[in-house]
Amino acid sequence: MELKVKGEQKELDLKKNMGVSCLDSGENMEKYDYSELGLKAGLEIHQQLDSKEKLFCRCPTLIRDTGEANFEFFRYLRATESEMGEKDRAAVEQTKIRRKYIYKAYDTTCLIENDEEPPRGMNREALKISLGVAKLLNMKPVDQMHVMRKIVVDGSNTSGFQRTAFLAGDGVIETSEGPCGIDSLCVEEEAAQKIEEIGDSIVYSLDRLGIPLVEIATAPDIKSPRHAREVAEQIGMILRSTGKVKRGLGTIRQDVNISIAEGARVEIKGVQALDLIEDIVRREVERQLNLLFIRQELLERNAFVCEEIYDATGLFVDTKSKVLQKGVKKGAVLAALLREFNGLVGREVQPGRRLGTEFSDRAKTAGVGGLFHTDELPNYGITEQEIQALRDAIGAGPADAVIMVADETEKARLAIEAVITRAKEILQGIPEETRKALPDGNTAYMRPLPGAARMYPETDVPQIEISHEYYNSIETPELLTERAKRFVSEFGLNMELAEKVAYSKDLPLFESLLEPYKKDAIVNATLIARTLVGLIPELRRSGVETENLSEEHFKGLFAAISTQEIAKEAIQDLLTALAKEPELNAEEAISQLGLSAFDPAEIENFIKEMVREKGDFIKEKGPAALGPLMGIVMKEYRGKVDGKILSHMLKQEIDSFMDQG
Amino acid sequence: MEFKQGDRVRIEKNGTVYEGKVMPSMEGYVALKMKSGYNAGFSVDEVRITLLESEEREKDANKAGVKECKPRAEEAASRSGKLPKVAILSTGGTIASKIDYRTGAVSSQFTADDILTAIPELKEIADFKGRVISSILSENMDQESWQNLAKAVVEEIKAGAEGIIVTHGTDTMMYSAAALSFMIDTPVPIVFVGSQRSADRPSSDNAMNAICAACVAVSDIAEVSVVMHGTTSDEYCEIHRAAKVRKMHSSRRDAFKSVNSLPIGTVDYETREIKTLIDYTKRGEKTLQFKPGMESKCAIVKFIPGADPAVLEHYINAGYRGLVIEGTGLGHVSTKWIPNIQKAVAAKIPIIITTQCLNGRVCDRVYDTGRDILKAGAIEGEDTLPETSLVKLMWVLGQTDDFETALKMLKSNLSGEVTACTLG
């Protein structure tokens, strides 16, 4: 492994010199040989269920506008001991700062969300949906479900824990790189939505708290960034196949667990977009490799971390640096001395993130804004002289790095302690931790990996037996991939359109609209599919408020086409009109727009008249006159009469004109 | 396969393997705590179980083991001597509850010392001494429990406690607090405190309630009081007079309300500042007196439309020594009940009329029925809560056997249970 890292060094250095990140590598080329690096990755997918009620209360699963909140209250949380008499390390770290959690409540939330009433029994609809998913993932259910309390003290659960139950294990899905095991499926409560942070207070909205969620964890069978994405896509498809999951931003979240040989298991939380998964995996591998490389260099330099915390406040009483001035005023400027770290604190571990950023992330857990390190100084108004004075005062040589934090004394002390801990860790290896996904594919420290100490039984909810009869009675839906294939064979859709419809949230609408027209000559699956997944998004992009369109509008539209009251060409105009005035029905809109098919006699007259006028042209061109003349007819009737019918009528008229000579 | 609770086992079910520790299981199932921390149950008939490690061996391997949490009779916490001396008397209940790792159930096996460990802020407020009185759920308490508790409180005051905190289950806290307020004339604060959310959860109200209670225990409010959340937020606690407080919600943190009175005051959680709202008895104003007598053969009878007057007769014949009637509105029962009220009074059984409205004062001089009730010999409970009236009745009958003396005592304000003017 050491050789491996050294081998990588050139590559990394080269990469840095060129200023390119590994993400810029070619479409089909991966930067690293992941199997050789010993990549182990697994996914945890959290998907909200579209049940009528929440998991442990009878409130609706409605997301509200925070402006509609009708009540607000606040709480503090404390880390408590588990039933085994231990405190969870993540909980302990998170309660270092006393945070005030402010909650917004609604007329659609109740005392259970407020942690003011014991939970009701588990929502059976959610349980059934979850077991349906377990079946699709070829899992084996437990015989008796136990609801647990998982300690979460970031305020996102009013109780300080999340209720969760293990339902099934030992599943598998097939992927292009072989089978991927599914280790567990749990049904749990969604957390409250974080709205904002105000100083040490965090505001949460309670509408989301308690919405049922399935958490699916794969085995560490994922082999590459691309494979991670494939597995996530496939599980997402399976979830959507149930037709019982919520859709839209934030309703599905992926966590990624990653480690490489010599690295450590890191859990990355909250990857909201599928597109980001590959980048997250690549960049975490890169981070672990770079940290291992830095460690190697530190070991070669015999680097070590001093335990002592230095009070440097006195050195900065007259500083011109505004940030430091503020710190001095608040309390203290404290410093830590890292022997032989010079130059490495500023070393990049991910594009734009340095070892110093990792230190800073830890410092922030104490509630400070950040830190300064000598690799980035002089800067922020801090002068070369001041740095030298600091170095002299604490006995730091040119090969050493110094870290500074300026804030209230207690916060600064906790922050520097956290930095010292992190600095010592780098000499050991990669720390196991929970990190949060950043929008650019990088990650930032969140908290230590929680242990089993965070889990104890929820005694307010009775256990539920999952009998064979019950599990066997749960029907599994057709997978969306299969459904798309069926749309191709059964209704003659092309594969692209079939997939688009099958994966769309309008799938139930498509099926309901298609029902009466399965054998219709004019209205067919392709027309309905094109309208729903082609035309509608197009109209939406051009500013039409398509969300106003109801199923009734579409039914009226296709009925009118089927009876040839209007032509297919009129669809766009009609839907635009209906979206503008949704109180109209299709019939009313048709007559208002004058879209009703024209009296055939009138069209015949129009064509006859035109043919007579253009007689010379027809005589000259013969049957080839059809094209140009059709243009004139279409100009008159486009969108009102089916082009095929017009063309047919025009051809007949030309033929009879020519026959008459 | 032989195995027992606490053992580490492997379970195989149709080729799927789970490993973990055996937890308390329901008939027909084996419940397993897996490495992930999750518990799940498996049907015993369908699995193959292999013992991996017995509990004893694992305990030997891991010397630290699990903390024992048996109640001890008396514990001494550190005494620095600078802070006021406060005794914490624990009677069980949610504030003193803890998860039992074996059963997973919330139990009341939690001592005063455990409270100090869990809430270290308390040590900044006073110098505590812990004492376990009982470890029972508050619904299982009776008049003897009240007397034992009162006796212990008096002992602690005599031993120099400058304030008393009683941790108590919330369900019947108002009865115990009222009982102590009648039994003890106290020169120091006696503060009842509990929690509505069990102590195992990070959101428990136990810490804030205990901290506020400690502030009251070292204050100059020398009354028996109940200190609990004032709102659903962790903002302030209310200090309720024992004789005026009632649990008014089955689950909310701010379940306790003073009825027909303002609270004595509030304690701000952030600043720990006490603001008083009404007059109160100050530290040292009273000298310690203890009158523990209690007559438990008393009852509350709730009148409902159409209620058979034979209900009253039952209590008279069963030898009850006093009755509180929860009447309707201003304090009424049907005219059919009046002969039996007369009968009770003739048998020297005091009858106190209270109102099921809870809020407001009884007034039996407005309507004929009321006047007939008074004529029959019943006493108006004024604006006293029915439950407080019952405790008062029990205590009065425990103090005297003389009917006239008892009536006189029942008509007077003994522990702030009657207010002179009804709160608007």
B:114-153 residues touching chain A, CB 8 A cutoff:
118
Is residue B313 a contact partner of residue B307, using CB atoms and an 8 Å limit? no
Find the mean pLDDT for residues A597-601: 68
pLDDT over 80 (residue B382): yes
pLDDT digits (tens, 9 = 90+) for A349-407: 999 999 999 999 999 988 898 999 999 988 999 999 999 999 999 999 999 999 999 99
The whole-number pLDDT of residue A593 equals 79
- Separation of alpha carbons B188 and B218, rounded Å: 8
Confidence of residue A296 (pLDDT cuts 50, 70, 90): very high
Is residue A448 a contact partner of residue A433, using CB atoms and an 8 Å limit? yes
Active site residue B172: no
Contacts of A117 in chain B (CB under 8 A): 251-252
Find the mean pLDDT for residues B165-180: 95
The whole-number pLDDT of residue A402 equals 96
pLDDT over 60 (residue B101): no
User: Are B232 and A85 an interchain contact pair (Cβ–Cβ within 8 Å)?
Assistant: no
Residue type, B318: A
Helix (H) or strand (E) holding B359: none
Report how many Cβ contacts below 8 Å link chain A to chain B: 134
Q: Using a CB–CB cutoff of 8 Å, tell me whether B253 touches chain A.
A: yes
Q: How far is B82 from chain A (nearest CA, A)?
A: 26
The whole-number pLDDT of residue B78 equals 45
Indicate the Cα dihedral angle A168, A172, A175, A179, nearest 10°. Answer: 140
User: Are A146 and B67 an interchain contact pair (Cβ–Cβ within 8 Å)?
Assistant: no
Active site residue B85: no
Lowest-confidence range among B12-21, B142-151, B210-219? Answer: B12-21
The whole-number pLDDT of residue B82 equals 83
Confidence of residue A613 (pLDDT cuts 50, 70, 90): confident
Given the residues B91, B170, B266, B354, the one annotated as active site? B170
Residues B35, B41, B44: CA angle, nearest 5 degrees: 115
Q: How far is B373 from chain A (nearest CA, A)?
A: 41
pLDDT digits (tens, 9 = 90+) for A174-210: 999 999 999 999 999 999 999 999 988 999 999 999 9
Least CA distance to A157: which residue of chain B? B203
pLDDT over 50 (residue B77): no
Find the mean pLDDT for residues A302-326: 92
The whole-number pLDDT of residue B69 equals 32
CB nearest A116 (choices: B37, B202, B252): B252
Q: Which domains does chain B have, with CATH numbers?
A: 8-53 (2.30.30.520), 59-290 (3.40.50.1170), 298-410 (3.40.50.40)
- Separation of alpha carbons A308 and A498, rounded Å: 66
Confidence of residue A484 (pLDDT cuts 50, 70, 90): very high
The encoded tokens of residue A126 equal 């959610």
Tell me the pTM: 0.83
3-state SS track over B376-407: CCCEECCCCCHHHHHHHHHHHHHHCCCHHHHH
Q: How far is B413 from chain A (nearest CA, A)?
A: 36
DSSP code for A49 = B
Is residue A359 a contact partner of residue A347, using CB atoms and an 8 Å limit? no
- Separation of alpha carbons B212 and B218, rounded Å: 10
Mutate to test the interface with B, among A101, A102, A116 (most CBs of B within 10 A): A116
More confident residue, A4 or A519: A519
Active site residue B336: no
Confidence of residue B107 (pLDDT cuts 50, 70, 90): low
pLDDT digits (tens, 9 = 90+) for A111-150: 999 999 999 999 999 999 999 999 999 999 999 999 999 9
Confidence of residue B389 (pLDDT cuts 50, 70, 90): very high
User: Are B41 and A454 an interchain contact pair (Cβ–Cβ within 8 Å)?
Assistant: no
pLDDT over 80 (residue B64): no
Least CA distance to B105: which residue of chain A? A459
The whole-number pLDDT of residue B60 equals 53
pLDDT digits (tens, 9 = 90+) for A443-467: 999 988 877 668 888 989 999 999 9
Which ipTM score applies to this complex? 0.91
Indicate the Cα dihedral angle A613, A617, A622, A626, nearest 10°. Answer: -70
The whole-number pLDDT of residue A10 equals 44
pLDDT over 80 (residue A154): yes
Find the mean pLDDT for residues B88-96: 77
Mean pLDDT score of chain A: 88
Contacts of B42 in chain A (CB under 8 A): 142-144
Given the residues B171, B205, B254, B364, the one annotated as active site? B171
More confident residue, A175 or A153: A175
The whole-number pLDDT of residue A422 equals 95
Helices (H) and strands (E) in chain A, counts: 22, 23
- List C-alpha distances in Å: A419 to A266, A394, A457, A477: 19, 17, 35, 52
User: Are B104 and A149 an interchain contact pair (Cβ–Cβ within 8 Å)?
Assistant: no
The whole-number pLDDT of residue B96 equals 57
Sign of CA dihedral A69, A73, A76, A80: negative
pLDDT digits (tens, 9 = 90+) for B315-362: 999 999 999 999 999 999 999 999 999 999 999 999 999 999 999 999
The whole-number pLDDT of residue A97 equals 74
Contacts of B39 in chain A (CB under 8 A): 146, 148, 166, 457
The whole-number pLDDT of residue B112 equals 65
Active site residue B247: yes
Lowest-confidence range among A28-42, A417-431, B77-91, B343-357? Answer: B77-91
- Separation of alpha carbons B348 and B407, rounded Å: 10
Given the residues B247, B266, B364, B369, the one annotated as active site? B247
